[in-house]
Structure 1
């Protein structure tokens, strides 16, 4: 069963959206795919793009507060959650075009956009390829993939601190992840959160079940692998981009904050980087108030 099946157990997308207050779960046919999104609030549009292995539900703790100021639109990327699972188009430039097309379908010619993980790469690509349609950009704990990814070690030396990103190579392998994880994706969900949460209670058993249902099918696993299998094209696309002209916010913890502080000024003309304490990768779920405060200060 998927989180989008609509069974009345509280875990379908419409039920989850309604649990946040004045939010609705919707779909739109754009750019050759059917995108699922959850929208609520009023004001300037703020598009929230999640990362792997999550869905729009990643932003559940910040959406009600943000909806007091913005028209919040949390989107499942192509291949994710309630969105369609096409055979291709998983490079971040194409997925950014999905977001651009969705925004226009909803009547927004210019958006604020924020992304985490894979979603951060898509948000960056949106600003790079559609600067006229991007008001401001926020990147959460991840910058756009570049050639440095080719330097990640398969066998790190014993003094190199974790995490060692074995899952990047794992997700590039054809077919094998499907055979291992179909019907058992909760194993991957629990591993990733176990690796990168300072407080495991920040992502409850119910939340993890929402994510596991979204990724459990062979179709969903193949689709999410597509995001990783497109990395070589993403790296080539990134090399063709100039410095971003839109204002950019980087939100990150510890070593990622240091990394962002170093590389983002090389990638954009107007940059601010904010450190979020007491968290690791899943800062939206561990430190939602810090994220809300930073967004309100940045997006205005």
Structure 2
């Protein structure tokens, strides 16, 4: 990682890797004390995405921040990029680390994974924060289709990454140019994404199998559609905080969560999609207010 990540006391977080029963090795870092809280990043970001939020949380929570399979410093398996499998990765990692019960916060594809953790491991998950994501089968596809009423938030890349081999052909060797533009383009203020963050996300994507793994997450959409439709038949009963960004997905996040959960609160921020990069202090306050109210 480009820069050291610290807890609330200024001590560097503890990094580790755990081999799961599937053979996948997940990289993670952890710090703090108190109830367990897992933070799951989206794509094409890594666990580094949470570096500005972590120091605000570690005084009250034992924070665990993994790299999703195929991303960052976790291994790049050939398969298993559907969200139920990713969710089982998360649940097994937490059990290996001694956290039987935990809160979970996910953003972007990390939110899609966090939802499946809450569904598949409902007795272990204490609460869910679902941030800036639309679930496959429950809204993502509509936003992947061009709509002239919201051209700024057309999720064109959902279909692009799904095309076999072509994204790898076009992006490989140009990871810096492509992902710099992609990540900054989704921010309300592109200058809020610092050079160290771009360096880390480009490093992750430039590894052998990096672009392939990113695409594999999107190529698992059909499996995710069926899983989410099946899961939505029974609403989650745990406390859910939905967070949307006015300049990106916004209130659609709330509408979606109301369809899959019974106990939903909503917060909206006037920023872009990269909230932990753009407004980490405001975001951390929202997390803490929610978690401490439970």
TM-score (normalizing by structure 1):
0.90
Contact 1:92 1:122 in 2 (8 A): yes
The answer to whether structure 1 residue 180 and structure 2 residue 173 are counterparts is: no
> Aligned residue pairs: how many?
286
**Aligned equivalents of 1:51 and 1:293: distance in 2?**
20
Match among 268, 271, 279 for residue 275 of structure 1: 268
Match among 87, 97, 115 for residue 96 of structure 1: 87
The answer to whether structure 1 residue 297 and structure 2 residue 289 are counterparts is: yes
TM-score (normalizing by structure 2):
0.92
**Aligned equivalents of 2:190 and 2:144: distance in 1?**
28
Q: Which string of whole-angstrom CA distances, capped at 9 and with x for unpartnered residues, describes residues 237-285 of structure 1?
A: 01111211111001112263321232222210110001112x1101111
Structure 2 CA distance for partners of 1:151 and 1:250, relative to 1, 3 Å:
closer
Contact 1:21 1:64 in 2 (8 A): no
Match among 1, 12, 16 for residue 26 of structure 1: 16
**Aligned equivalents of 1:43 and 1:121: distance in 2?**
25
- RMSD (Å), alpha carbons: 1.8
Q: Which residue of structure 2 lines up, in the alignment, with residue 161 of structure 1? A: 151
Q: How does 1:183-198 map to 2 (within 5 A)?
A: 183-198=173-188
The answer to whether structure 1 residue 43 and structure 2 residue 34 are counterparts is: yes
Match among 250, 264, 269 for residue 257 of structure 1: 250
**Aligned equivalents of 1:139 and 1:153: distance in 2?**
19
Q: Which residue of structure 2 lines up, in the alignment, with residue 148 of structure 1? A: 139
Residue 159 of structure 1: CA displacement?
Answer: 4.4
3-state DSSP of counterpart to 1:183: coil
Residue 179 of structure 1: CA displacement?
Answer: 2.1
Q: Which residue of structure 1 lines up, in the alignment, with residue 119 of structure 2? A: 128
Contact 1:22 1:41 in 2 (8 A): no
Residue 217 of structure 1: CA displacement?
Answer: 3.0
**Aligned equivalents of 1:210 and 1:153: distance in 2?**
27
Contact 2:128 2:241 in 1 (8 A): yes
Q: Which residue of structure 2 lines up, in the alignment, with residue 60 of structure 1? A: 51
Residue 220 of structure 1: CA displacement?
Answer: 1.0
3-state DSSP of counterpart to 1:145: coil
Match among 89, 100, 105 for residue 109 of structure 1: 100
Contact 1:126 1:134 in 2 (8 A): yes
Q: List gaps (5 residues or longer) in structure 2.
A: none
- Once the two structures are overlaid, the 10-residue window that deviates more, 213-222 or 104-113, is 213-222
The answer to whether structure 1 residue 237 and structure 2 residue 227 are counterparts is: yes
Q: Which residue of structure 1 lines up, in the alignment, with residue 109 of structure 2? A: 118
The answer to whether structure 1 residue 16 and structure 2 residue 4 are counterparts is: yes
